[in-house]
Structure 1
Amino acid sequence: MYNLNNIEKKSILVIGDVMLDVYYNGEVKRISPEAPVPVFRKHSERCTAGGAANVAVNLAAADQKVSILTILGKDNAGEKIKELFSINGINTDLVLEFNRDTTVKTRFLASNNQQVMRLDVEDTKLLSHEEAGTVLNLLKEKIQAYELIVVSDYMKGLLSRQVMQGILSMAREVAVPVIVDVKDPEAEKYKGAYLLKPNLNELKQMTGMRIESEEEIAEASEILRRRCGCEYVLTTCGAKGMVLVGDGEGPYFVKARGREVFDVTGAGDTAIAYLAACMANKMHIREAVSIANCASGLQVAKIGTSSVCWSEVRAYLTEDKAGTTYKRIEGATVRSFRRNHPDEKIVFTNGCFDILHTGHIRYLREAAKLGDILVVGLNSDASVKRLKGPDRPVNPLEDREELLCALEFVDYVVAFEEDTPYQLIEMIQPDILTKGGDYAPDEVVGKDIVEGRGGRLVLIPFVDGKSTSNMIQRIRS
C-alpha cells in the first residue's frame, strides 16, 4: 500500500518556537532536612531539541533538506541548540538572536524514568513590531527556495498574529503550502493556512465546542477548517488516533497503532514532520496522514524527545516478518544514538555476515554479554564486493539485515557504505569495541576512538573451522 522507496529530499522550511529539552537522570532516596521535599541526586544528563527544533530534527531524520527560521537568546542554551542543528545537518541561515532567554525545559527523571519535576526557563513576550519586521524581511528573501513550510507554534513569542499572517501572505504569493501545528485558541490567527493540526484540547478551545464522539471531532474539525479557510484540518486525538477533514470524501479516521506508551513528549512534532515530508513528496493526503500516525506511534514508545527514521517507519508499516521492527537504524538516528542512550553501555562490532553460521551466532552472543546494547555494523553490498571480490556477497544486504535482526541478542543493525566502519564508530561512540580473535589489537579499526573516550577493545575468539569463505568453497567443490 505504501511506497516509501521513492521518497526524495525536498527543501522544507520550519518556522517556530524552539526549546532545549534537558533530561537529568538520577534517583530520589531521601527527603531534604531543610524542607519536606525530595532530594534528587543526578547521575547523568542529556540535551535534545524541542518544539520546532524537534520538528526540524525529525524532518532531517526523514532525509529532507531542512532549514529553520527561529529566534534564540544570546545564551548557552541557544548555543547548544545551534550545535544540535549542526549535528543534524539543519541549515541555520535564518536563525536570529535577540536579547531574551532561550526556552529550556529541564526534566528530572528518577527510577524507571519517572518524572519527579520539571523546571522551565522561558520568555514568552511577543516580538516587538521592529523584531517582527526583521523576521518577515528575512523570510521574504528566501521563501521561494522552499517547497513546503511547517509552522510550529508553541506560543513562546515568535508567532504573533502579525508574524503568522505575514508568513501566510507571502506563502500564498509564491504558492508554497503552509501546514501549521497550532497552539493559540485564536483561530483567525491561522486563517489562510493550507492545513492546520490541532490536538483534541486545542480543537475544543478553538471552536468552543464540547466534543466527545468521533463524529463530533469531525464536525468541529470541519467548522475550524471553514472558519480559517484551510484545505485540511488534521486533529490528533492521542490514543484514539487522528481525524482528517477537507478532501471532499468525508472525514478520514486513522486509529492509533497499538504500542506501549512510555512518553508522549514530542509525538506531535514527529507527526507533523512526517506529514510534511510526505506532502512535499506529493503523496496522497490520506496516505501521508497514515504515515504520520505511524511515526507518532513510534515516538511515544521512546523516552523523551528523539527522532524517528524511515527504516523504523518502513518496518512498522510492513510488519517485518522476522519480528525485528525498529532494529534497523540509519541517518539522524545513528548520529544521535549516543545522546539517546546516555546511560547504557554500548557494544559495537561489524562485519559482512554474508552467510550466517554458528561461529557468527556464538561470537555475537558473547559480544552482547559485554554491555547493555549491541550494535552491529553491516557492510553494504558494494562494500562487501570491494572487500571480498566480485562474486560476493552471496546474500544481499536486505537478507543479511533481516537475519541479524532476528537474533534476540542483537539490538540494532546499521549498514555502512565505506570499506571500514570508522565514521560509524565516531558517530555511535561505543563503550566497547569487539572483533574476532584472529585480529591483532592494532589492526582493529576504531580502537583509537573507543579507547580515546575511556572505552576498551575486546577480542573474542572465533569458533575453529567456521568461516563464510570455507563454507562457500565447500559448496562450490
Structure 2
Amino acid sequence: MTSEERLSMKEAERILERFKEISVLVIGDLMLDEYIVGDAERISPEAPVPVLLRRERKVGPGGAANVVYNLTSMGAKAIVGGIVGKDAAGEELKRLLSEIGADTTAVIIDESRPTTLKTRIIAHKQQLVRIDHEVRRTIDDDTCNALIERTSPLITHVDAVIISDYAKGVVTSKLTDSLRSAREQHRFLLCGGPKPKNIASFVGFDLLSFNMSEARESAMLNGELSDDYRLIGKTLASRLQIRWLVITRGEEGASLFDMSGWLCDIPSYRVTVYDVAGAGDTFLAAIVLALCCGANFVTAAKIACAAAAAAVCKSGVAPVTVEEIKRIISYGSIAIKGEI
C-alpha cells in the first residue's frame, strides 16, 4: 500500500532522547581535514595563479573519524578503530578524537604510511584546491591482525559496529570476516558505508548506506552502469544479502530496500544547501543510532534524512546535534512515498 505517514515530533523525540544510551564502534579510514583560509587579492608573478595571504588554519576529524564526530555530537558513545601514521597529523587527529569524547584505544600507529590528510585551500569562501596526502595500499596482515586484536574485546560492549570505508586500505575481507564471526556471539548491528572497490567484503551486513554514484558502480549490471535506482538497490540488497539498504540521492532524498526489493522513497528536506561534504557520514551515524534505539527502518531513515539536512546547512564538514535534528523535523515534517 502507499503510505503518507509523517514523522511526528513526539515519535522523533522518543528516539532521539535515547541516542545517549547507545555505544558504537567505528572502524575505517581515519582522516584529518585541514582548512587553510586566507585572502587571494593578487596573481603570482611566477605563474598565473592566485597568491593566498593566510589568515587561519582549521582542522577537524574526517573520513571514518567524521562518523565518530557525528556520533558523539548526537550524544552517543563512540569507540574508534583505525590506522594513523607516526606523524603530526596522526597526533592531532587522536587529540581531536579524545577531545570530543571518543575512545581511541583501537587507533593503531603504522609507521609505514602517513595519516591521511586532506588540505583545502580557501579564499573568499571559495575552495581553490584540495591537496591529499595519503597512501591507498591495503594494510598488511600484521597491521590487520593488530586492528582485529585491538577491537575484538570492545565488541562485547557495543550496540553497533560501523565500517566506514573510504578505500584507503583499512577495510579488508579478513577484517569484515572477523566482524561477521563476532556478530554470531555478540548481539550488535553490523553496518557499513562501502566503496565499490571493497563491496564484496560487505556481504551479509545488517545495513549498508550508499550514495547514488557508489551504488551505480557497485551494482554494475551486466558490466554496465544503470541509472535505475530501484533496480540498482534491489540488485545490491539481493546480491549482498543485506537486511536494510539505503541509497541517498541528494535532493531526491533516500530510497530504502531490503532483500525483496524497493520499499519506499523518502523525500529530502527543503533547506538552503551550503556544503554537502560529510552529509553521508551524518546520515549513516543517525540511521544506525535510530535503529539501535528500536526505530523501524523507515522511521530511522526519516531521522537520518533530517540529520543530513542539518549537516548540509553548515559550511565545511561539521557534525550535527540532536537539537539540530529536532529543529529540522519541526521545521517541516516529511512524508514517505512508495509501497511498504
Corresponding residue of 1:316: 328
Q: Which runs of 5 or more residues in structure 2 are unaligned?
A: 1-7, 333-340
Residue 4 of structure 1 pairs with residue 13 of structure 2: yes
Tell me, what secondary structure is at the counterpart of 1:187?
A: helix
Work out which of the residue numbers 121, 137, 140 in structure 1 matches 2:133: 121
Task: Verify: 1:107 aligned to 2:120, yes or no.
Answer: yes
Aligned partner of 1:211: which letter?
Answer: S
Q: Does 1:293 align with 2:302?
A: no
The one-character-per-residue Cα deviations of 1:69-93 (angstroms, maximum 9, x if unpaired) are: 1111111111111111111111111
CA contact (8 A) 2:121 2:129 kept: yes
Q: Give 1:63 shift.
A: 0.7
1:247-293: CA deviation from partner (whole Å, max 9, x where unpaired)? 86952201111111111110101110111111111111111101111
Is 1:279 aligned to 2:294, yes or no? Answer: no
RCO higher in structure (CA 8 A, sep ≥6): 2
User: Residue by residue, what CA displacement relative to the aligned partner does 1:408-462 show, whole Å, maximum 9, x if unpaired?
Assistant: xxxxxxxxxxxxxxxxxxxxxxxxxxxxxxxxxxxxxxxxxxxxxxxxxxxxxxx
Residue 40 (structure 2) aligned to one of 28, 45, 49: 28
Q: What is the total number of aligned residue pairs between the two structures? A: 316
Q: Where do residues 362-373 of structure 1 align in structure 2 (5 Å cutoff)? A: none
Q: Of 152, 155, 159, which residue of structure 2 is paired with 1:147? A: 159
d(CA) in 1 for partners of 2:249, 2:273: 14
Question: Paired residue for 2:82?
Answer: 70
Preserved CA contact (<8 Å) 2:246 2:256: yes
Structure 1 residues 86, 55: closer, same or farther in 2, change over 3 A?
A: same
Q: Distance in 1 between matches of 2:172 and 2:260?
A: 32
In the alignment, what sits opposite 1:54? 66
Take 2:325 and 2:259, find their aligned partners in 1: how far apart are those partners? 25
Q: Distance in 2 between matches of 1:248 and 1:309?
A: 34
The counterpart of 2:107, out of the listed 88, 95, 102, is 95
- Encode CA deviations 1:326-363: one digit per residue, 9 max, x unaligned: xxxxxxxxxxxxxxxxxxxxxxxxxxxxxxxxxxxxxx
| 4+ aligned runs moved over 3 Å, structure 1 | 209-212, 247-250
Structure 1 match to 2:337: none
Contact 1:25 1:108 (8 Å CA) reproduced: yes
Structure 1 residues not aligned, in runs of 5+: 321-477
In 2, Cα distance between equivalents of 1:160 and 1:248: 28
Tell me which residue corresponds to 2:275. 263
Q: Which residue matches 2:336?
A: none
Using the alignment, how far apart are the partners of 1:155 and 1:250 within structure 2?
Answer: 27
TM-score by length of 1: 0.64
RMSD: 1.6
Contact 2:71–2:285, Cα closer than 8 Å, also in 1: yes
Distance 1:264 1:314 in 2: 20
Amino acid at match of 2:232: A
Matched, 1:227 2:239: yes
AA partner of residue 283 (structure 1): A
**Aligned counterpart in structure 2 of residue 41 of structure 1, from 53, 78, 85:** 53
Q: Is the 8 A contact 1:188 1:227 kept in 2?
A: no
Q: CA deviation at 1:3?
A: 3.2
Q: Which aligned pairs between 1:62-461 and structure 2 lie closer than 5 A?
A: 62-99=74-111, 100-111=113-124, 113-209=125-221, 210-212=225-227, 216-246=228-258, 250-319=262-331
How far apart are 1:211 and its partner, in Å? 3.4
Provide the secondary structure at the position in 2 that maps to 1:244. strand
1 CA distance for matches of 2:32 and 2:195?
A: 19
Larger Cα-atom Rg: 1
Distance in 1 separating the partners of 2:41 and 2:253: 39
1:145 aligned counterpart, secondary structure: coil
Q: Percent identity between the aligned chains?
A: 29
C-alpha distance in structure 1 between counterparts of 2:32 and 2:109, whole Å = 15
On the 8 A contact 2:32/2:89 being kept in 1, the answer is: yes
